[in-house]
Structure 1
Amino acid sequence: MAIITLTTDLGSKDFYQAALKGSILSIFTDASIVDITHEVPSFNISYAAFVLKNAYPYFPKGTVHLIGIDSVFSESTKYVAMKYNEHYFVGADNGIFSLLFDGDPEEMVELNIMQDLKYLHFPLVDVFVKAAVHLSKSGKLKDIGIPLESIEERMLLNPVLEQDTIRGSVIYIDTFSNVITNITKELFTRVQRNRDFTLHFKRSETITQLSWHYNEVPEGEKLCLFGISNHLEIAINKGKASGLLGLHLGDIVRIEFHQ
């Protein structure tokens, strides 16, 4: 089964998403198309990278992931395809791949597929679709592009360590309004060293213990835990943490460790 996933900022209101899927099916009727999300905030590369990075490992090896974020024509931006962790990725070389991967791709090319002028402002339905279909049919990367030595680098805002303190920030808010930070479980464990902690955030709110499940506290109470992404989350049991706690993208959270 040939699987092509879609991660875009096209939304669901307009015809763009349908046009993208129709373009794939027009040249490969047997393709299995899976939406990862089309609700990425416009041009938000780091948001898209977080979603796709946490989703793609659950797909079978050989899956092709088409990324449509900030992909409009630009003389300074290349269209690329690459293989990483036995998956294939197609998108614009705008920095997203440096956020998506933890190591170097196994193979990567700059696409040399000729673009149809009528799709000049919508390369997703032309260049990207042709590349994704080619790869989903077990085609070779070398047949659709020229070897690429490096990709555009983009840096994430990393947590800051200050003696017995981790200062992090909110990087994602999910559908349930759970607040996800850039503090990973690995970093927390390494700095904690089995000590007690206090998590501080807006409105002088604090949390002093980790939970394993969202329902470990009474309904309406706040908690923190490491979710499926292995990033520290702030949540409210059956409540909307982001709105109720006043936490938004980019807001600072602080963890203080003590004996």
Structure 2
Amino acid sequence: MEQEWRATGIVTFLSDYGIQDSYVAQVKGVMLARHPGLTIVDISHLIPAQDILEGAFQLATCWRVYPSGTVHLAVVDPGVGTSRRPVAVLADAHLFVLPDNGLVTFVLEEARSVQAWSLDRSEFFRHPVSATFHGRDIFGPVAAALASGTSPERVGSPVDPATLARLLLPALEVAADGVRGPIVSIDHFGNARTLIRPEHLPAPPERLTVTCGSLHIQGISRTFGDVEPGQPVAYFGSHGGLELAVRNGNAAQQWHLVRGMLVEVRRVRR
């Protein structure tokens, strides 16, 4: 299904470039040199180096809070300079400019309508193109062009969205008496986040147990304040998925939680 695209002049920017070096500033400089009126919003530049999964998760948590017509520039690109495609993906009237390496996985799962283009129109690039810095020389300039009103059809050739790379994740296992799935991200507070959603629950929240490693929690709460300080709590976070936390503490440190560990939700047996 073709979507109407109306640029807002807003570009969000996510990367694993860090804040110690000048990489982020270089990308912004190229975009602003092309189109000085852009509004550039940083999502995060502290994605762990080459961590596509974390980048994909962070991107998915925030794109919908921006207006339709926003361009989302995301660069976590361990395959830079190889045959992996640079792409633009139009999903529910938002444009994503990024490497085709799975970074757009969670957006694709959520979006109702998707179109995609391979970024093969070099006239939109910065030259010469570095083999190791496509964020500055390909993705940034293209994102700036799109945010200023250039149509996606002008920056690349259409590709079948079904061919876009997706991350291979352990699937949620949903059964009549429970559900289990992996921790996909641990945030700044040490909260462990999953893709388990309310519709996956086998019983009302108060009739469930949540287990991850040696951590056992009775019931799913509404918010942190439903338990005493220092106590573990399970709740549905702002991204919509089940999270494990410790009120006024750090669940990952206290309970030795790491990404990939399975979280299991079961109905209490009476």
TM-score, normalised with respect to structure 1:
0.91
3-state secondary structure, aligned to 1:4:
strand
The unaligned stretches of length 5 or more in structure 1 are none
**Are 2:205 and 2:219, in contact at CA under 8 Å, matched by a contact in 1?**
no
Q: What is residue 192 of structure 1 aligned with on the other side?
A: 203
The unaligned stretches of length 5 or more in structure 2 are 1-7
Equivalent of 2:173 in 157, 160, 168: 160
3-state secondary structure, aligned to 2:97:
strand
Q: What is residue 137 of structure 1 aligned with on the other side?
A: 148
**Are 1:3 and 1:136, in contact at CA under 8 Å, matched by a contact in 2?**
yes
- The CA deviation at 1:120 is 2.6
Residue correspondence of structure 1 range 244-255 to structure 2 within 5 A: 244-255=254-265
The one-letter code of the counterpart of 1:166 is V
Residue correspondence of structure 1 range 10-89 to structure 2 within 5 A: 10-70=17-77, 72-75=80-83, 77-89=84-96
The separation in 2 between residues aligned to 1:105 and 1:122, in whole angstroms, is 30
- The CA deviation at 1:166 is 2.1
Residue correspondence of structure 1 range 105-254 to structure 2 within 5 A: 105-114=113-122, 115=125, 116-149=127-160, 150-161=163-174, 163-188=176-201, 191-192=202-203, 196-203=207-214, 205-254=215-264
- The CA deviation at 1:5 is 0.5
3-state secondary structure, aligned to 2:141:
helix
3-state secondary structure, aligned to 1:215:
helix
Change (3 A) 1:105 1:10: farther
Q: Which digits, 9 at most, give the CA deviation of each residue in 1:91-137, with x for residues without a partner?
A: 11112223321246542211113252352321111111121111111
3-state secondary structure, aligned to 1:249:
coil
- Counting aligned pairs with the same residue, the percent is 27
Q: Which digits, 9 at most, give the CA deviation of each residue in 1:56-111, with x for residues without a partner?
A: 00001100001101151112x11111211111110111122233212465422111
Root-mean-square deviation (CA), in Å? 1.9
The total of aligned residue pairs comes to: 255
TM-score, normalised with respect to structure 2:
0.88
Change (3 A) 1:239 1:10: same
Change (3 A) 1:194 1:224: closer
The separation in 2 between residues aligned to 1:195 and 1:173, in whole angstroms, is 25
Structure 1, 94-103 or 80-89: larger mean CA deviation: 94-103
3-state secondary structure, aligned to 2:254:
helix
Structure 1, 161-170 or 9-18: larger mean CA deviation: 161-170
Q: What is residue 5 of structure 2 aligned with on the other side?
A: none
The separation in 1 between residues aligned to 2:169 and 2:102, in whole angstroms, is 10
Equivalent of 1:4 in 11, 15, 21: 11
Change (3 A) 1:194 1:8: closer
The separation in 2 between residues aligned to 1:153 and 1:171, in whole angstroms, is 15
The separation in 2 between residues aligned to 1:196 and 1:2, in whole angstroms, is 48
Structure 1, 140-149 or 108-117: larger mean CA deviation: 108-117
The separation in 1 between residues aligned to 2:52 and 2:113, in whole angstroms, is 18
- The CA deviation at 1:10 is 0.8
